[in-house]
Amino acid sequence: MSTSTLSAAPTGAWQAWCADAAATARKLLANPLTAIGVAVIAVLVAVALFAPWIATHDPLRQDLFAALQPPGAAHWFGTDEFGRDVFSRLVHGTRITLFIVTLVTVVVGPLGMAVGVVSGYFGGKVDTLCMRVADVFLSFPSLVLALAFVAALGPGLDHAVLAIALTAWPPIARLARAEAMTLRQADFIVSAQLQGASHLRVLWRHLAPLCLPSVLVRLTMNMASVVLTAAGLGFLGLGAQPPLPEWGSMISEGRRYMLDSWWTVAAPGAAILAVSMAFNLLGDGLNDALDPRQSS
Amino acid sequence: MLPASSWPLRRRPLLALPALPALFAASWGAAHADSPDDQLLIGMSMNNLLSLDPAAATGLDAVTVACNLYDSLLEVDAAEATKLRPSLAQSWTVGEGGRRITLKLRSDARFASGRPLTALHAAWSLQRVLKLNLALASVWKSYGFTAANAATHIRTEDAETLVLDLPQATDPTLVLMTLATSMTGYVIDRDTVLAHEQRGDLGNAWLTTHAAGSGAFELEEWRPKELLTMRRAAHHWQPAAKLRRVVFRHMTESQTLRLMLMRGDLDVAGGMSAPDVRALAKQPDLVVEEVRRATMYYVAVNARHPRFADERVRRAVLRHLIDFQGVASGVLPFYGELQMRPVPPGLPASLPQPGYRFDPSSARRLLAEAGLADGFDTTIRVVAEAPFTGIATSLQATLAQGGIRASILPGTGNQVYGSMRERTFEIIVGRGGGGAEAHPHSGLRALVYNPDNRDSARLSNFQGWRTGYADAALNRLIEQALLTPEAAAQADLYREAQQRFDTRVGAIQPIAQMLDTQVLRRAVKGYRGHPSGATRLREVYKEGRRS
Amino acid sequence: MNLKWIRGGSSAGLALLGLLLLTFMIGRVMPLDPVLAIVGPDADRATYEQVYQQLGLDRPLWVQFGRYLGDLAQGDLGGSLLTGLPVTQDLARVLPATLELATLAILLGALLGVPLGVWAASHHKRWPDHVARVLGLVGHSTPIFWFGMMGLLVFYAWLGWAGGIGRIGLGFEGAVPRVSGLMLVDTLLAGDTAAFRSALRHLLLPACVLGLHSMAYLSRMTRSFMLAQLTQEYITTARVKGLSRRQVVWGHAFLNIRVQLLTILALAYGGLLEGAVLVETVFGWPGFGSYLTGSLLLGDMNAVMGSVLVIGLLFVALNLTADALYRVFDPRARS
């Protein structure tokens, strides 16, 4: 059995897709910056999965007598104003960050693609309606709109996720629509229709998989901004509520003690920076890898 | 870098780029925005400063500002809160069996507009409070005044005499104190205000953002939640203020206030967090001033909740499962002073602290008697700021030692006090109560008094109603004491009321009297924090140039 | 051409209407009670009801929205429920502050980001490219509020170089008459150099913080535009013809991306409004971002709707400008 995917001819769309993906992954990892990004994200996922074992203390346990301790042997990143261990809160915060990113992507991806593909394929009134709705959401800075939603729904992690998702789907929809519009005239689509495929079948089996790669790239590039928006909402007090160890709200709370206890703010800030950078690096790398013009 | 000569013409303006750091350096080298000698720069939170209209404004922030723009008929001494001093009124008498107060005004007072201040303006200002019928009118309504009887019961006898006929029997000293401490007692320039009246609102819209008073300062500019500036009044009936200008800047961040104080960009800062005050106290050029305010921090339970309806449970929670000493030393510094009675110290009727202690074994015994030997689950609602959260955290831990498992529900003021007004809470850590009058009645009325405990009564401005506990005998004592004309007998009745509050555990337990902590630069002289928040700045001056 | 403008305009108008409706709905769903904010927590029921009716909150939703639209048609954005001031007045006060900040920020971002992007593209895949990319990424990934806080700490608290909170030193507040609302302009017009310096010191740090974000974005986009140009044949031709690298990069490739850059600048300017919300919170900058956030958190519906309208208009205007610029400058797009 040959191990090289190049030598064996692909036997179906799925195998071809996998071979493509593997080649892309190799190209990705060849770039050192992207590799770093992937590594950081892998660490993030690992930390989130094994958080209870990696954390040294209970992130919610308060100890008012050990409040605002500097980093040391007992508390690697020091403690906050309630005596909670910052390192453990950081570690458990990865779960929240990952939760937000995953949930937003899982909601925005299918929703945006569905709206965009349908809109681009059918055109006409359906297209106009969908794009008008998308325009309403797009004609506004996403943080502010998310702010408005969360202020309306009440602060909370779920509401913040919902708000971010509601502001993040329009660009995906537009992208999918653009792709669908270019592809709907393609020969194989027309032939499928002539063979009697229903619209649903055409959309699901033919159009959607082709729009998927650019949507995925866009989604990955969006993840960084999702992390930042969520942190921004947390900073304004509208995201995850205390005592959840969300990084943005940790900065907001630690800000009151910043002058004397810099670690309460430095640690979560650095974490947000690292994760956001990693997603940006990955997104950039994906963009480069999949963009034919950039191959040298 | 590419030599400029080879740049295309259109990019030559970029040569200006190096000018930027030069500009930066130049501005740095310039003199600091010194806080000049004749200006006082104050940093405070203006989140609650929504209106400057004395009849409509609420919250302590408004008093801090407005007391410098307006004068009252009387003032309360900053050091001795029970002592009334003349201000616009030279003298006053109480007659007709305590039902009539006659005030004699000075003849030389003028408004900022130059108009002489007469009793007519004073009467109109008070009548206006009742006609507009906004939040601050409630205290006058409790004395029996209404919009209908305002014209007859608040009247002038001549240009210098104001007469108040109290519609129902009450303690006239209390009314005088209200005149002295409440914003409703400010005398407004009637003619100026009526000239700006819109749609019969008695100038409410105009006075929200303007001032027409006789105070030591005039309003210069107000940008809501940003900045308020006042300048020295041109004609003032007292010696002119020493400061030329006062600038209030809206700042809510404690660290920001601290930074600006340290850098000398501020002279006075209030509302900072305890760790910041502690750090600043160490600096030689800064002084910390703490003033007791009338509001109290408290822990309250909902006596209408089946579990807390049992007196034994309330006693266990409120008397034995709060670590008063721990909270006093760990959480309260710079925020409040330990206070376990609804009547603050310093009054003739004040009693010493009752000595409640954290005692989990007694608590457990009481809970067992009430049939809750295994404890129970409950919730503590609390506004998500210091020191409320610190008190709630401590409470959670001490309740746990009594077998009660409490979860903390932080929220905004709206959410927390909203649940209190709806009587849907279980345990709450809050702050409130105490009118600014240095009279036992104001604290008792706000915190304890509950004449009608039914849901339909909706006495949502009484903490007593909000917590759902009504003690008829205690109510009667409070009412009786108010009407007792003889001072010693009145004090006895108030002491009896406090003792009854002690023995019959109500639903609210005061923990601390609020402290207003201000940090000043040592160069600021003559600043006296006032217990009612009315810190008048006319005596304040700054000495020397900052080195 | 005219038909396109009309169509573009009407679709923008519809989008705005939809936005207003959305915000109106949000405003009514809010769990915040503006009446309580006005009367205070200790008011009695009667007072509450009185103010409730004064504000017109007892009418049905559709009536309220209809009345709002009617007022809007006359240029009346309503009064801020809390301050009682007309929202138009509030906005006229806060918008220049944000515009001043955003304009300086985008200038800084462009002056630093565009050359960086060009430099990175012209040294593609070598170390300058990587350095520029990392710098750009760091700028793009840093939480802007955290960066602002660090900036304040280092440059104000420790070094004393930058000004503190606010647009100008407290001692100068109100000393200079307000003409345009832009502090730098007003202080210059008044001839008060000390005030000007104070205003500059206060403006530089927040502008740098905001500018960092746009610098990152602009350098990324410039780099990718330049890369697209530099791989084309005419570049090779130019090199072969003997033009120096400098001339090729700046004299040929850069000129061809001007159009795209302008449109990106317009979009980046709009994106700055997002960052402004957080930066204004950190620096106590009394601008549009603070106003919007404050109104949202207090449930001041008229102020929120007015702000939404303005920001929507700004965004639409920026998008239309970007489109127009594209059409005006790029001959290929005209047809």
pLDDT given at position A166: 85
> Are residues A262 and C154 in contact, defined by beta-carbon separation less than 8 angstroms?
no
Instruction: Tally C-beta pairs within 8 A across B and C.
Output: 150
B275 to chain A, any CB pair closer than 8 A? The answer is yes
Residue C270 clears pLDDT 60, i.e. is over it: yes
The mean pLDDT of chain A is 82
- Which residues 136-165 of C have a C-beta within 8 angstroms of A? 137-138, 140-146, 149-150, 153, 157
What's the half-sphere exposure (Cβ side, CA atoms, 13 Å) at C56? 13
- Bond preceding residue B387 cis, omega within 30 of 0: yes
Residue C62 clears pLDDT 80, i.e. is over it: no
> Are residues A195 and A243 in contact, defined by beta-carbon separation less than 8 angstroms?
no
- Bond preceding residue C60 cis, omega within 30 of 0: no
> Are residues C195 and C208 in contact, defined by beta-carbon separation less than 8 angstroms?
no
CA C126/CA B455 separation, integer angstroms: 76
pLDDT band at C68 (very low <50, low <70, confident <90, very high): confident
CA B165/CA B156 separation, integer angstroms: 11
Q: Could you give the ipTM of this predicted complex?
A: 0.76
Neighbours of C272 (CB within 10 A): 25
Residue A216 clears pLDDT 80, i.e. is over it: yes
Burial class (CB in 10 A: 0-12, 13-18, 19+), B37: middle
Residue B238 clears pLDDT 90, i.e. is over it: no
B418 to chain A, any CB pair closer than 8 A? The answer is no
- Which residues 256-315 of C have a C-beta within 8 angstroms of B? 284, 286, 290, 294
Residue A123 clears pLDDT 60, i.e. is over it: yes
pLDDT band at B10 (very low <50, low <70, confident <90, very high): very low
Percent of chain B with pLDDT over 70: 93
B258 to chain A, any CB pair closer than 8 A? The answer is yes
CA angle C319, C325, C327 (to 5 degrees): 105
Residue A25 clears pLDDT 80, i.e. is over it: no
Write the CB contacts of B3 (distance below 8 Å, at least 6 apart in sequence): none
- Taken as a whole, chain A contains a residue count of 296
Measured between CA atoms, the residue of chain B closest to residue C172 is B33
Contact A152 C142 (CB under 8 A): no
Q: Give me C240's structure tokens.
A: 């072969």
DSSP C152: I
pLDDT given at position A83: 80
Point out the residue among B279, B330, B384 whose CB comes nearest to the CB of A260: B279
Give the 3-state secondary structure of residue A186: coil
Residue B454 clears pLDDT 60, i.e. is over it: yes
DSSP B117: P
pLDDT given at position B32: 46
Shortest Cα distance, chain A CAs vs residue B183, angstroms: 32
List pLDDT tens digits, range A221-230.
888 889 988 8
CA distances C301 to C31, C64, C65, Å, are 12, 11, 11
What is the phi/psi pair of residue C316, to 5°?
A: -60, -45
- Strands B377-383 and B405-411 come out as parallel
| C251 contacts on B by Cβ (under 8 Å) | 8
Choice among A24-33, A107-116, C42-51, C310-319 with the minimum mean pLDDT: C42-51
Contact A273 C138 (CB under 8 A): yes
- Strands B377-383 and B427-432 come out as parallel
- In this prediction, residues A126-139 reach a mean pLDDT of 80
C278 to chain A, any CB pair closer than 8 A? The answer is yes
- Which residues 92-121 of C have a C-beta within 8 angstroms of B? 93, 111
Contact B255 A64 (CB under 8 A): no
pLDDT given at position B364: 92
Tell which of A27, A136, A256, A284 to mutate to test the C interface (max C CBs under 10 Å).
A136
List pLDDT tens digits, range C223-251.
888 888 888 888 888 888 888 878 878 87
CA B379/CA B147 separation, integer angstroms: 42
- In this prediction, residues A214-223 reach a mean pLDDT of 84
The H-or-E segment that residue B164 falls in is strand B161-165
List pLDDT tens digits, range B208-229.
889 999 999 999 988 877 889 9
CA A136/CA C21 separation, integer angstroms: 10
Which residues are B192's β-sheet partners? none
pLDDT given at position B46: 85
Write the CB contacts of C245 (distance below 8 Å, at least 6 apart in sequence): C122, C239
The mean pLDDT of chain B is 86
List pLDDT tens digits, range A56-83.
888 887 776 677 888 888 888 888 877 8
pLDDT band at B511 (very low <50, low <70, confident <90, very high): very high
Report which listed range, A100-109, B21-30, C126-135, is most confident. A100-109
Point out the residue among C31, C165, C171 whose CB comes nearest to the CB of B36: C171
Point out the residue among B24, B208, B265 whose CB comes nearest to the CB of C84: B208
pLDDT given at position A275: 92
CA B386/CA B395 separation, integer angstroms: 14
List pLDDT tens digits, range B499-509.
999 999 889 99
